[in-house]
């Protein structure tokens, strides 16, 4: 392990050994992850291109010559593109292990959001253009034509119900709506996306001209729908049930950590086969009177040892308020592990871990697990979480500790008042001069994490060495 030239001083400053000593420590799996990311993106482009080609060769371009036929033709095209994107949206959050490992949750969630809103916009355009075209281009006749299509065409009532489900999901996904919903309510409403997609299937396969025009098109669409449904059933239902039954995780104890946080210690069978890594999170469903119906994402706060697991939870309301009252022996259903905030993403033999508040949780596990030159920057308001444990790690493994105390200095800063009046970039470079040469793992609220990312870019840290995970929803 490359030693730091200077260890933390009273000011919490860490100096490095310079770029000349940096070694590429890219995981052997990194090439596989890059290949999967490239293949996934290419597959989406191929799908969109293929359905556009079929639309064009099936008379789509010719139909653009007339007003009514042009509206109908554009309606078919937007419907085809929206459907491909809709299936991609579902696959992005189907917890497919290969995608999880290659992209990580933050990138998947961002892509899911972008693809989701785009597919929804395309679907609304499809409904409007098709109906307008069927109404012979007469805008005033469109409402009546929509009613006629809904009540007389096969599968259209189901499609309307599916559209209503998707509208509900989109509306509750807007940030202004999310902040007013409890996590459990939002999560339950979000599951209606699967119902919406399923209800749209009969209409498209029974009456969609582009779905039935040739054997190749029929095989393409049936295969796409079948693979998407299989992925959801296998990875959102089957695999979690298997792991829960296989490992039989139970609570062994709950220990207070201060500042409204508690650590939950758990054990189970064959945990060495779970495949959990430091920095990852799981969805936890505690089988209490109310907790069985609520899954919450909590990160591991200690490196897994194959025999036990630990999570640390802050009381933020909703299901978190019930965690301190868990009793030993409580059975737990698990989904995961998920996330790419792990050693798998590391490219350097020097690492910086930057966390805000309870966001230090997965970084605490990483600090224990990484075989690297590690410095930990923890922004906290009152008292640091895991202070004693980090002190032990600093002593035994020479991990650098840089406390960042105090309230946030303002909406334009991710640092606390304890760092003084300097700007964020100057403060960061003063404490970790070799920050541009390190892999940097960041965990905290979304807006805060984005501010850290901007500062890191300004400091010269390459994008491929910045690994983030946000909490909140």
Read off the CATH number of the domain in which 360 is found: 3.40.50.80
| Res. 78: pLDDT tops 60 | yes
Total domains in the chain come to: 3
In DSSP notation, 432-451 reads -TTGGGSEEEEEEEHHHHHH
The pLDDT of residue 449 is above 60: yes
The Cα diameter of the chain in Å comes to 78
What pLDDT was estimated at residue 249?
97
**Residue 14, domain member (yes or no):** no
Tell me what pLDDT residue 225 has: 87
Same domain, residue pair 334 and 390:
no
Could you give the C-alpha distances from 179 to 52, 174, 186, 325, 473, in angstroms and in order?
Answer: 38, 9, 10, 26, 8
373-380 and 400-405 strand pairing: parallel
Residue 359 belongs to a domain: yes
Pick the more confident residue, 214 or 290.
214
- 10-22 pLDDT, tens per residue? 335 555 444 334 4
Judge whether residue 180 has pLDDT over 70. Answer: no
In sequence order, what are the residues at sequence separation of 6 or more whose Cβ sits closer than 8 angstroms to the Cβ of residue 286? Answer: 251, 292, 322, 323, 326, 330, 331, 332
Question: Structure tokens of 71?
Answer: 């509206």
The answer to whether residues 96 and 224 belong to one domain is: yes
| Percent of the chain topping pLDDT 90 | 45
Q: What integer is the mean pLDDT of 433-450?
A: 93
59 shares its domain with 177: yes
List, in order, residues 6 or more apart from 120 with CB less than 8 Å away. Answer: 82, 166, 167, 170
Indicate the residue among 236, 256, 282 that finishes a domain: 236
pLDDT score of 181: 58
CATH number, domain of 318, equals 2.40.30.10
Distance (Å, whole) CA 362 – CA 339: 10
Point out the domain boundary residue: 284, 315, 338: 338
163 within domain boundaries: yes
Q: What is the rounded radius of gyration, in angstroms, for the C-alpha atoms of the chain? A: 26
**Is residue 363 classed as helix, strand or coil in its secondary structure?**
helix
Q: Helix, strand or coil for residue 374?
A: strand
Which has more confidence, 16 or 226?
Answer: 226
197 and 65 part of one domain? yes
| Residue with more model confidence, 72 or 153 | 72
- The SS3 of residue 26 is coil
Q: Residue 367: inside a domain, yes or no? A: yes
Q: Does residue 13 lie in a domain region?
A: no
Provide the domain limits for residue 262: 248-338
Binned at pLDDT 50, 70 and 90, residue 5 comes out as very low
Residue 40 and residue 106 in contact, taking contact as beta carbons nearer than 8 Å: no
- Are 201 and 252 within one domain? no
For the segment 346-369, what is each residue's pLDDT rounded down to a tens digit? 888 999 999 998 899 999 999 999
Residues 232 and 292 in one domain: no
Q: What is the mean pLDDT of residues 236-250?
A: 95
Do 333 and 359 lie in a common domain? no
Does residue 377 lie within any of the structural domains?
A: yes
pLDDT (0 to 100) of residue 195: 67
Question: Could you tell me which residue, 436 or 318, shows the higher pLDDT?
Answer: 436
Q: How many CA atoms lie within 13 A of 362 on its CB side?
A: 28
Strand order in the sheet with 331-338: 296-299, 281-286, 331-338, 249-258, 261-267, 308-314
The answer to whether position 444 is within a domain reads yes
pLDDT band at 207 (very low <50, low <70, confident <90, very high): low
Q: Is the pLDDT of residue 311 over 90?
A: yes
- Residue with tokens 């940030």, as numbered in its chain: 175
- Spatial contact of 337 and 425, defined as CB atoms under 8 Å apart: no
User: What average pLDDT does range 37-63 have in this prediction?
Assistant: 93
Instruction: State which H helix or E strand residue 262 sits in.
Output: strand 261-267
For the CA atoms of 59, 62, 67, 70, the dihedral, rounded to the nearest 10 degrees, stands at 40
Same domain? For 50 and 149 the reply is yes
Tell me the Ramachandran region of residue 258: left when phi exceeds 0, alpha when psi lies from -120 to 50, beta otherwise.
left
**DSSP per residue, 396-422:** HH--EEEEEESSBS-TT-SSBGGG-SS
pLDDT tens per residue, range 267-295: 999 999 999 999 999 999 999 877 666 78
Among 338, 370, 405, which residue terminates a domain?
338
pTM value is: 0.81
Given a cut of 70, is residue 4 above it in pLDDT? no
Give the CA-trace dihedral at 49, 53, 54, 56, to 10 degrees.
140
**Element of type H or E holding 314:** strand 308-314
Range 364-376 average pLDDT: 93
Domain match, 322 and 263 both: yes
Token pair listed for 294 = 């609520």
126 with 211, same domain: the answer is: yes
Report yes or no on 382 lying in a domain. Answer: yes
Give 65: exposed, middle or buried? Use CB within 10 Å, 0-12, 13-18, 19+. exposed
The pLDDT of residue 326 is above 50: yes
Q: Are residues 298 and 218 in the same domain?
A: no
Highest mean pLDDT of the ranges 39-43, 173-177, 284-288: 39-43
For all residues of the chain together, what is the average pLDDT? 84
pLDDT at 8: 42
Residues 289 and 385 in one domain: no
User: Please, which residues have CB within 8 angstroms of residue 186's CB and are 6 or more apart in sequence?
Assistant: 172, 178, 473
Distance CA 432, CA 353 (A): 11
């Amino acid at each position: 392990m490359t030693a730091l030239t200077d260890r933390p001083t009273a000011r919490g400053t860490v100096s490095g050994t310079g770029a000349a000593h940096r070694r590429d420590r890219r995981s052997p799996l990194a090439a596989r992850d890059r290949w999967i990311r490239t293949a996934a993106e290419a597959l989406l482009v191929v799908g969109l291109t293929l359905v556009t080609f079929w639309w064009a060769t099936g008379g789509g371009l010719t139909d653009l010559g007339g007003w009514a036929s042009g509206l109908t033709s554009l309606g078919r095209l937007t419907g085809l593109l929206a459907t491909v994107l809709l299936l991609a949206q579902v696959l992005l959050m189907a917890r497919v292990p290969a995608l999880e490992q290659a992209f990580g949750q933050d990138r998947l969630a961002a892509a899911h959001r972008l693809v989701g809103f785009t597919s929804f916009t395309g679907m609304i355009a499809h409904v409007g253009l098709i109906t307008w075209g069927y109404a012979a281009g007469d805008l005033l006749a469109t409402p009546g034509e929509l009613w006629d299509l809904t009540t007389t065409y096969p599968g259209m009532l189901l499609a309307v119900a599916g559209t209503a489900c998707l509208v509900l999901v989109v509306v509750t996904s807007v940030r202004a709506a999310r902040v007013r919903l409890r996590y459990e309510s939002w999560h339950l409403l979000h599951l209606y996306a699967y119902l919406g997609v399923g209800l749209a299937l009969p209409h498209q396969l029974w009456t969609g001209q582009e779905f039935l025009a040739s054997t190749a098109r029929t095989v393409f669409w049936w295969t796409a729908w079948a693979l998407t449904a299989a992925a959801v059933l296998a990875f959102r239902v089957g695999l979690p049930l298997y792991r829960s039954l296989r490992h039989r995780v139970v609570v062994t104890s709950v220990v207070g950590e201060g500042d409204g946080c508690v650590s939950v210690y758990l054990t189970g069978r064959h945990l060495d086969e779970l495949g959990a890594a430091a920095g990852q999170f799981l969805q936890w469903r505690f089988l209490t009177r109310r907790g069985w119906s609520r899954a919450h994402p909590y990160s591991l706060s200690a490196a897994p040892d194959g025999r036990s697991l630990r999570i640390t939870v802050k009381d933020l309301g909703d299901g978190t308020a019930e965690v301190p009252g868990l009793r030993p022996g409580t059975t737990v259903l698990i989904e995961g592990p998920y996330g790419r905030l792990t050693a798998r993403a590391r490219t350097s033999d020097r690492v910086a871990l930057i966390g805000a508040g309870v966001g230090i949780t997965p970084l605490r596990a990483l600090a224990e697990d990484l075989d690297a030159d590690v410095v930990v920057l923890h922004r906290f308001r009152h008292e640091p979480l895991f202070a004693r444990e980090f002190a032990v790690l600093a002593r035994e493994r020479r991990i650098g500790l840089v406390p960042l105390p105090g309230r946030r200095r303002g909406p334009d800063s991710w640092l606390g008042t304890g760092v003084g009046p300097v700007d964020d970039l100057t403060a960061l470079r003063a404490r970790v001069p070799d920050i541009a040469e390190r892999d940097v793992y960041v965990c905290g609220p979304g807006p805060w994490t984005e501010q850290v990312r901007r500062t890191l870019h300004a400091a010269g840290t390459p994008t491929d060495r910045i690994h983030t995970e946000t909490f909140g929803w």
